[in-house]
A and B are shown apart, each in its own frame.
Chain A
Amino acid sequence: MAELPGQIRRMGGGISQLLEQIYGFSRRCLFRVISMGPTPCHIAFIMDGNRRYAKKRGLEDGSGHKAGFSALMSMLQYCYELGIKYVTIYAFSIDNFRRKPEEVESVMDLMLEKIKSLLEKESIVHQYGIRVYFIGNLALLNDQVRAAAEKVMKATAKNSRVVLLICIAYNSTDEIVQAVKKSCINKSDNIEASGNYKHEDRGSDIEGTDMENQEKKIQLVDIEENMQMSVAPNPDILIRSSGETRLSNFLLWQTGNTQLCSPAALWPEIGLRHLLWAILNFQRNHSYLEKRKKQL
């Protein structure tokens, strides 16, 4: 008689496992169908609404972010199953440092814990062979988080199947200014290295002062190369949860032609249907965008 509750529990566990497998199988079938159309190469997420979720559910501060992390893991799994190679997430903005110190500290602690967990054998990194990049002004982070981030980047450097870019201590305007500074430094190095430039130019058809020639040296491609996000192509889709429709200083340079989606669900409530809706919209506009690209 004492075995009965155990048996019931085992049966219940078995049934839920079976249901999970059926769900996983049907999901993968659905993904196969969707993959017949054009699939985005790169999706970016602004994970907004964790604090509002915690408030809504009457949870303690910090629980919202934990729930948000679970939602993130599910999203990553869906993206990689769909064959999306690059996923970028906006984990922490430079502006977020202005929040209450207790909140910033709790978020940093959570991030440290989760970054360290990425190195574990059972983590999603090893499951999908993810290469992880941490993008942002890492000098603004505390030593522990920065060290953990660098360790993860080093440990996953050899992975090449899929890529996860985590924007932490990041602002797009900061990224652009850093890239511009680097381009200027590289340019002046190039000028010093090629001292014969002025001499060679006299024979060419291009006329202009020295200043103009030096200016011509800085091109769009120079700035692009020096962007931290240059390790990935521009995002095809940007999804911001919680219904807010703004970029909040995220990937401004890279999202010139990105499709923007803003589902009303808070980040911990985000689900497969939101991702599918974004991808179906992407597929609808894809042929028009390809035609325009050819026109250029």
Chain B
Amino acid sequence: MNFMIHANHLLVLFTLSTMLSMLWFLLSLLSLLLLPCLRPCFPAKGSLKNKKKIDKGTYVVGEEETPKELQRELMPRHVAVIMDGNRRWAKQTGLLTSQGYEAGAKRLLEFADLCFKLGINTVSAFAFSTENWGRHKIEVKCLMYLFQRYLKSKIQFFQSKEIRVSVIGNLAKIPESLLRTVHELEEATKSYKKKHLILAIDYSGRFDILGACKSIVKKSEQGLIREEDVDETLFERELQTKCTEFPSPDLLIRTSGEQRISNFFLWQLAYTELFFSPVLWPDFDKQKFIEALVSYQRRDRRFGSRL
């Protein structure tokens, strides 16, 4: 009898221990599955303090890694951007206009860096138009000072990332200090080939075409070219975008919802895909850029001929 009771107890204990070990096994399996998901969620997205850390984490995905929505072979070679909306962003966030421009400059560097990581060779940005001289004098002065300070401070950054920087535009009216910094930056980065950042400062598409025209006139008078040789290919080589192997952007992005070219590249945009984003420039982050690239990769570029 006792033996039976003992056996019974043993059986119960055995069953209980088996169930407990199974439960323990299940729990450990569950925790192995759940914890890796929980860990990255810890640094809250809304936290401003950690924002820089998070940005680095999401941008630095390795030189070769392409987001799953995109195809590497369909990446544009040259992306141009009209960085519109800095002042409106500053107003919305309750900051000064100069802080809006600073945020815009920072966004540009992040944008360019992201482009190069995705395999895009050339990035051009419309920093200052000839028409912008009509803005308030103090605002223009502040902008020129920002360009000079920012570019000077980033020379090492461009060198470390091996980014060639070119500045195109009239450059006749910009302050001496900025002109010196531009020359210094161009000189320091001229040997890099794979990544090219073109900044358009005091640039106008029409004046670019006029400049090419004048250059052709000069060359024809020097006997270097004949009038009958002047065609579209020759003309394109005289534009300010001659500094790059890909003068025509494949994609142009303009932020802040305005749907105009505003006298940025005119000739060069003949077959460029245009993308207008309602987002203000300082808010144009990686996700928004991927949306633009997805839209670009879906487009059927026919260049006037095939269906």
In the bound complex, residues from chain A placing their C-beta under 8 Å from that of B261 are 255-258, 260
A261 and B259 form a contact (CB under 8 A): yes
B31 at the interface (CB under 8 A from A): no
Interface string of A205-219 (1 = CB under 8 A from B): 000000100110011
Given contacts A176-B267, A220-B207, whether A247 and B213 have CB atoms under 8 Å apart is no
A220 and B307 form a contact (CB under 8 A): no
Q: How far is the CB of A183 from chain B (nearest CB, A)?
A: 7
Given contacts A184-B227, A220-B207, A256-B266, whether A246 and B213 have CB atoms under 8 Å apart is no
A156 at the interface (CB under 8 A from B): no
In the bound complex, residues from chain A placing their C-beta under 8 Å from that of B197 are none
Size category, B interface: 35 or more
In the bound complex, residues from chain A placing their C-beta under 8 Å from that of B213 are 180, 183-184, 218, 223
In the bound complex, residues from chain B placing their C-beta under 8 Å from that of A21 are none
**Could you say which of B210, B271, B272, B276 contacts A220, with CB atoms under 8 Å apart?**
B210
| A94, B131: Cα distance in complex, Å | 32
In the bound complex, residues from chain B placing their C-beta under 8 Å from that of A95 are 303-305
B263 at the interface (CB under 8 A from A): yes
Interface string of B188-220 (1 = CB under 8 A from A): 000000000000000001110110111011101
In the bound complex, residues from chain B placing their C-beta under 8 Å from that of A142 are none
In the bound complex, residues from chain B placing their C-beta under 8 Å from that of A283 are none
B262 at the interface (CB under 8 A from A): yes
Q: Which residues in chain A, 203-250, are within 8 Å of chain B measured between CB atoms?
A: 211, 214-215, 218-220, 223, 244-249
Q: How far is the CB of B141 from chain A (nearest CB, A)?
A: 16
B173 at the interface (CB under 8 A from A): no
**Could you say which of A52, A180, A218, A257 contacts B230, with CB atoms under 8 Å apart?**
A180
**Could you say which of A244, A256, A261 contacts B263, with CB atoms under 8 Å apart?**
A256
A98 at the interface (CB under 8 A from B): yes
Q: How far is the CB of B221 from chain A (nearest CB, A)?
A: 7
Given contacts A96-B304, A223-B210, whether A247 and B270 have CB atoms under 8 Å apart is yes
| A41, B206: Cα distance in complex, Å | 22
In the bound complex, residues from chain A placing their C-beta under 8 Å from that of B260 are 257-260
Size category, A interface: 35 or more
B205 and A256 form a contact (CB under 8 A): yes
In the bound complex, residues from chain A placing their C-beta under 8 Å from that of B207 are 220
In the bound complex, residues from chain B placing their C-beta under 8 Å from that of A259 are 259-260
Q: How far is the CB of A47 from chain B (nearest CB, A)?
A: 13
In the bound complex, residues from chain A placing their C-beta under 8 Å from that of B275 are 245
Q: How far is the CB of A57 from chain B (nearest CB, A)?
A: 15
| A22, B307: Cα distance in complex, Å | 40
B102 at the interface (CB under 8 A from A): no
Q: Can you report 30 residue pairs joining A to B where beta carbons are below 8 Å apart?
A: A93-B304, A95-B303, A98-B304, A99-B304, A99-B305, A99-B307, A173-B232, A177-B232, A180-B212, A180-B235, A184-B213, A184-B227, A211-B218, A214-B221, A218-B213, A218-B217, A220-B206, A223-B213, A245-B273, A245-B276, A247-B269, A247-B270, A249-B270, A249-B271, A253-B206, A255-B261, A257-B260, A259-B260, A260-B276, A295-B135
Residues of A within 8 A of B (CB): 51-52, 93-96, 98-99, 171-174, 176-177, 180-181, 183-185, 187, 211, 214-215, 218-220, 223, 244-249, 252-253, 255-261, 281, 285, 292, 295-296
- Of all A-B residue pairs in the complex, the 3 with the closest CB atoms, nearest first, are A95-B304, A295-B134, A256-B263
Other contacts beyond A246-B271, A256-B266: 7, CB < 8 A: A98-B305, A173-B267, A184-B220, A185-B227, A215-B217, A248-B304, A292-B134
